[in-house]
Amino acid sequence: MHTAVNTLIHLLLTLLLPPLLLGVINRTKAFFAGRTGAPLLQPYHDMLRLWRKGSVFSSTTTWLFRAGPLVTLAATLAAALLMPLGNQPAPLAFTGDMILFAYLFGLGRFFTVAAALDTGSSFEGMGGAREATFSCLAEPALFFSLVVLARVSSSLSLSGMLNDFPPAAWFGSGAALLLMAGALFIVLLAENCRIPFDDPNTHLELTMIHEVMVLDHSGPGLATVLYGASLKLFLLGALFVHITVPFRSGNVIIDWCAFVGAMVLLAVAIGTVESTMARLRLTRVPQLLVSASLLSAFAMLLVLRQSP
């Protein structure tokens, strides 16, 4: 009974919360810019409106172009079933699910990039190339962090790693975990194409990564793309929040509220980063990603050294 309710909350939050994060980020950026900004629920409104609109397809595209956003969304939703939220185990938790989690994002990326190449546009090809290049450089950083988590929690499942993540670990190897959190934050920003990697609001195709890949999507397809992207931000954000806010009260309701609060705080943090930093030159992006890998590798070294 208890589990069923928690699973229900998990599913509802996964389906409903992601666009709110975008709203919070935009509101934060508006605050820094001295504007009032759009209402918090604006992203929901945008997505619904797009969903109801008609579509325009490029004459060069095939079924793959339409399938791209759908497969990406499906893969992200499947990954959502593996990610524990609010100190509750995920609906599907088993040994080795963290690898499946990471590879499901890979599947999504494959189809997003393939859909971009299907338009035959040089801009979208460029965006696809950047996405494929940068995210494969982010992969080692994520896996070094998974190694650290596995080692600290002695668990091989995301639910075990994140729920049994001992808050005491922060006292014992705080510096190492801080490094790992830093690396994960960089991965979070890079995978979701936020500043300093990509500017989601830029209007120049040449400088875009994610937005330029989805230029030709319209109507319900574009709504799917936007929703899938916000869901990805939500999931990677949840991973980050579980590590940085290892708050356990034991009370289910308080834990859920704390989780939602922490996610909103994360969105504020992302908004702050976006308001205070400039986008990196593209040639510097690989360097930052390699640095993230080194940070997490170094964190791994420290953690391995500590626990014999």
Partner 1 sequence: MNTFADQLLVLVFLLNFMVLGSSRIGIAIRVVAVQGMVLGLIPSLIHQVSPHLLLISVGMVGVKGFLIPALLNRAVRTVGIKREETPFLGYVPIMLVGAVATALAFLFADKLPLAPQHKDLLFVPAAIATLMTGFLLLVSRKKAISQVTGYLILENGIFIFGLLLTEAMPVMVEAGALLDLLVGIFVMGIIINQISQEFSSIDTSRLTSLKE
Partner 2 sequence: MISPILLTVTGILLAASAGIPLLVAGNPAKGQKIAATLHVLAATAGVSGALAALARKEVETWSIDWGIPFGPAEIGVDPLSALFLLPIFTISACCAVYAVGYWPAEQNPESAPKLTLFLAVLTASLVTIVIARHAVLFLAAWEVMTVSCYFAMTVGGRRKEVRDAGTLYLVVGHLGVLALFAFFSLLKGATSSWLLPGAGALPATSPAATAIFIAALAGFGIKSGIVPLHIWLPSAHANAPSHVSAIMSGVLIKMGIYGMVRAVSLFTDIPFWWGVVLLAAGIVSGLVGVVFAIGQHDIKRLLAYHSIENIGIILMGLGVSLMGSSRGMPALALLGTAGALLHTLNHATFKSLLFFGAGSVIHACGTREIDRMGGLLRRMPLTAAFFLTGAVAICGLPPLNGFVSEWLIYLGLFRGIIDADTFNDPYFALAAPALALIGGLALACFVKVFGIAFLGTPRSDRSAESHEAGPAMLAPMGVLAAVCAGIGLFPQAVAPLLETVVRSLDPGLAATGTTLAGHASLGMVSVVSLVLLLLVGATTLLYRHRLARSPVGVAQTWGCGYLAPTARMQYTASSFAATLVGLFSGLLRPHTKTPLIQGHFPKQVSFRSHVPEALLEGFYLPLFGLLNNRLSLVRRLQHGRLHLYILYIVVTLIALLAWSHFRIRS
Residues 6+ apart with CB under 8 A from 47: 19, 223, 226, 227
- In angstroms, rounded to a whole number, what is the distance separating the alpha carbons of residues 242 and 9? 17
Q: Are 136 and 114 in contact (CB under 8 A)?
A: no
Q: Are 295 and 141 in contact (CB under 8 A)?
A: yes
Residue placing its CB nearer to partner 1 in the complex, 188 or 289: 289
> In the set 27, 109, 194, 232, which binds partner 2 (CB under 8 A)?
109
Pattern 228-267, partner 1, x by CB under 8 A = ----------------------------------------
Residue 162 Cβ, how far from partner 2 at the closest point, in Å? 15
- In angstroms, rounded to a whole number, what is the distance separating the alpha carbons of residues 208 and 200? 8
Instruction: Dig out the tokens for 239 from the structure.
Output: 């991973």
What residues form DSSP beta bridges with 88? 85
Buried residues in 276-307 as b, exposed as e (16+ CB within 10 A): eeebeeeeebeebbeebbebbbbbbeebeeee
- In angstroms, rounded to a whole number, what is the distance separating the alpha carbons of residues 74 and 85? 19
Q: Considering CB distances under 5 to 8 angstroms, the limit depending on partner class, which of partner 2, partner 1, none binds residue 25? A: none
Pattern 126-165, partner 1, x by CB under 8 A = ----------------------------------------
Q: Considering CB distances under 5 to 8 angstroms, the limit depending on partner class, which of partner 1, partner 2, none binds residue 268? A: none
Residue 86, interface with partner 2 (CB under 8 A)? no
- In angstroms, rounded to a whole number, what is the distance separating the alpha carbons of residues 161 and 47? 34
Q: Considering CB distances under 5 to 8 angstroms, the limit depending on partner class, which of partner 1, partner 2, none binds residue 147? A: partner 2
Residue 179, interface with partner 1 (CB under 8 A)? yes
Residue placing its CB nearer to partner 2 in the complex, 100 or 254: 100
Pattern 289-308, partner 1, x by CB under 8 A = -xx--xx-xx--xx--xx--
> In the set 31, 143, 170, 298, which binds partner 2 (CB under 8 A)?
143
| Interface with partner 1 (CB under 8 A) | 174-176, 178-179, 286-287, 290-291, 294-295, 297-298, 301-302, 305-306
